[in-house]
Amino acid sequence: MKDTTQNKAILIFTGGMINLEWAREWLANQQFDYVIAADKGLLYADELNCKVDYILGDYDSVDKDLLEKYRSMNVELTTFPCEKDYTDTHLAIETAIERGASQITILGATGSRMDHTMSNIQNMKIALDLGVPCYIVNEYNKIYLANKNRVINKSEQFGKYISLIPFSQSVTGLTLSGFHYPLKKFRMDQGLSVGISNEIVREKGIIEFDNGVLIIFETKD
């Protein structure tokens, strides 16, 4: 049965690469209300012993026995054709929003297929437009989109470096305070690398801008 309860922190497993050792340690310190496994993401969720609430995909990358295991557990499952207009991650984000997500975190959204990685970053715009925070996380990066001012507490940041890349054609009036490389009312256009590898040098890094959408990376080596 479809659960429409709102205000859920939803975790999505999708089919890129997940460092299982890191993910196991990271998940021990997280709390989620609902878990969606998209295609090969089911394999990762199973290896990490995560309770799965919903499974979707065309299952071209999932072992039939594993799928049958979850069918026998009466986990809700939706099958899509292999030839479809949207990726499994795209469909998983839409499903998370339908299921009442107040926040979405995605594991397995990065990997060897850079086309999929770029597409998954683009897909976060679906959530952004509806006011739902959405994050892609791996052992080195926390990636998200911002269409309004943002404050990052140094004590809580995911990695040492903060990188900013325009998602929109340009981001105007960009002001950075509390950073090693500050900016004042700067126009950041696509194609510029000026926003890469900054560092917070005060208690908080403050990102302010007038118009546009940023991709924000909290990252480490």
Q: How far apart are CA 17 and CA 12, in angstroms?
A: 13
| 101/202 same-domain check | no
- Look at residue 107 and give its three-state secondary structure: strand
Contact at 8 Å (CB) between 103 and 9?
A: yes
CATH classification of the domain holding 52: 3.40.50.10240
Backbone angles phi, psi at 160, to 5 degrees: -65, -35
pLDDT at 115: 96
Q: 117, 139, 161: which is the final residue of a domain?
A: 139
pLDDT in tens, 38-53: 999 999 999 999 999 9
Tokens at 174, concatenated: 């960009």
Indicate if 156 and 116 belong to the same structural domain.
Answer: no
How far, in Å, CA of 154 to CA of 197, rounded? 15
Distance, CA of 145 to CA of 217 (rounded, Å): 9
Query: Is pLDDT of 3 > 70?
Result: no
Asked if residue 47 is part of any domain, the answer here is yes
3-class state of residue 87 by DSSP? coil
Q: Is residue 123 one of the residues assigned to a domain?
A: yes
Domains contained in the chain, number:
2
Residues 175 and 89 placed together within one structural domain of the fold: no
Q: Is the pLDDT of residue 192 over 80?
A: yes
156 and 194 fall within a common domain: yes
In 10 A of CB 24, how many CB atoms? 14
**Are 13 and 113 members of one domain?**
yes
Indicate if 91 and 43 belong to the same structural domain: yes
* 85 and 29 co-located in one domain: yes
Last residue of a domain, one of 106, 139, 172: 139
**The pLDDT of residue 5:** 62
The domain boundary, picked from 139, 158, 185, lies at 139
Tokens 């002001």 appear where?
175
Q: Is-contact 32 10, C-beta < 8 A?
A: yes
Distance, in Å, from the CA atom of 149 to the CA atom of 214, rounded to the nearest integer, reads 10
Alpha-carbon distance of 201 to 189, in angstroms, equals 25
> Residues 63-71: what's their mean pLDDT?
93
What's the whole-model pTM score?
A: 0.94
- Look up the domain containing 214 and give its range: 150-219
In a domain, 211, yes or no: yes
